[in-house]
Structure 1
Amino acid sequence: MSQLCVLLAWALLAQLGLGTGEEDSACCGPIVPRKEWRALPSRCIQELKLPVRYVVVSHTAGSSCDTPALCRQQAQNVQHYHAQTLDFCDVGYNFLIGEDGLVYEGRGWNTKGDHAGVTWNPISIGITFMGNYMERSPPPRAIRAAKSLLACGVARGALLSNYEVKGHRDVQQTLSPGDQLYEIIQKWPHYRE
């Protein structure tokens, strides 16, 4: 039943013309745009030089969300923490993945993130899974959403076709993306330690 809800949500977004703007290729699934999750305006100005070679996968280590309403709220919470507490110019990630199976636009494809340190931020896309995945795995629909996003990145020229996936712990001293999610991404064909 929840899979049907996700498909209906995607269909509704597409029908309303949301998440299917010029920034998305025709082959990309819908991405929930910033205005739809009520993001605060971004103060970021540094662009990424596309295409990038690396994708850094993390988790927020906070609350998970499994409905669009809860994920919108969680994306707002993450942005508030990053922008208000950490004084970032915006939410630190390029994209956020919800357990509802949807992708939420963070800084998007073109803007440098604040997700993996000064060495990796200018040369990677940061994708985070909203939740804590130390002791449990994200649901399959969230994994599918992330894989679809990566294919979209290649299709639209934001990622090199031979891109490399890194776990957050591969590039910084952290437990992110959590033991269970880390085990999953290590099996992805583009994963490189």
Structure 2
Amino acid sequence: MNSLITLIFALFFLNLDDTVAECPKILSKDDWGGQSAKRIDYVIKPVKYIIVHHTVTQPCLTENDCSQQLANIQGYHMNDLSFNDIGYNFIIGGDGNIYEGAGWHKEGAHTYGYNKKSIGVAFIGDFRTIAPNAKQLEAGQKFIECAVEKGEVAQNFKLMGARSVSATESPGLALFRIIQKWRGFTRNP
């Protein structure tokens, strides 16, 4: 009987490990040298929306370059715009890494009227005329699926470009055309 219980527990935990293995690695703020938030406001999960942005900066292809870009973005958001933290919940670099911004369960400052009910995901670069590289796009899709699996985002979530809910070009026309083919995409909230 004990060996049967042990086998059931082992299979359960192996399945959990397999599920977690599908989630991409997320580099913490400590990993990229980010500052702690001035204040944290929490959201109720699962959130209903994922809102995609671009940073309108130079692209980055290495962890060092992406980390420097994020430090600059966070400094601009916190010092110039008086945000409590970097505005996005997560950021995807051209190196294929996902970087923690405000993070899970926390209110970002990325889309007025949606911050309390969404996760803001930004792609590092300017995607008005060129698309993100394959590593970024693959990481973005895996991240979305992972967020749903973890229960951070509702199963019937709505994926939108920031341009769908605010007066902005974000996430850039090239990226916007791509995300229209992704699971959960909607033009209208």
Q: Which moved more, 1:82-91 or 1:38-47?
A: 38-47
Q: What's the TM-score once normalised by structure 1's chain length? A: 0.85
CA distance in 2, matches of 1:62, 1:27: 29
Q: CA deviation at 1:26?
A: 4.9
What runs of 5+ residues in structure 2 fail to find an aligned partner? Answer: 1-18
* 1:27 and 1:155 in contact (8 A); partners too: no
Q: Kindly state the Cα deviation for residue 189 of structure 1 after the two structures are TM-superposed.
A: 2.3
User: Who is 2:90 aligned against?
Assistant: 95
Q: How many residues align?
A: 169
% identity of equivalent residues: 37
Letter in 1 for 2:87: G
Aligned position for 1:163: 157
| Alpha-carbon contact 2:22-2:142 (below 8 Å) kept | no
SS in 2 for 1:92: coil
- From 49, 55, 58, the counterpart of 2:53: 58
Counterparts of 1:129 and 1:44, CA distance in 2: 24
**1:36 aligned partner:** 31
Give the number of the structure whose alpha-carbon radius of gyration is greater.
2
- How large is the Cα RMSD of the aligned pairs? 1.2
CA distance in 2, matches of 1:83, 1:67: 24
1:98 and 1:61 mapped to 2: Cα distance? 13
Corresponding residue of 1:121: 115
State the partner residue of 1:112.
107
| Superposed structure 1 runs of 4+ greater than 6 Å apart | none
Give deviations 1:81-108, integer Å, cap 9, x for gaps: 1001101000000000101101000011
Report deviation, 1:28: 1.5
Cα distance, 1:144 vs. partner?
A: 0.7
Contact 2:56 2:127 in 1 (8 A): yes
Q: Name the residue aligned to 1:173.
A: 167
Give the aligned partner of residue 154 of structure 1. Answer: 148
Q: 1:75 aligns with which of 62, 70, 74?
A: 70
Mind listing any 5+ residue stretches in structure 1 that lack a counterpart?
1-23
Aligned-partner Cα distance in 2 for 1:37–1:139: 21
**CA distance in structure 2 between the aligned counterparts of 1:25 and 1:155, rounded to whole angstroms:** 9
Displacement of 1:25: 4.3
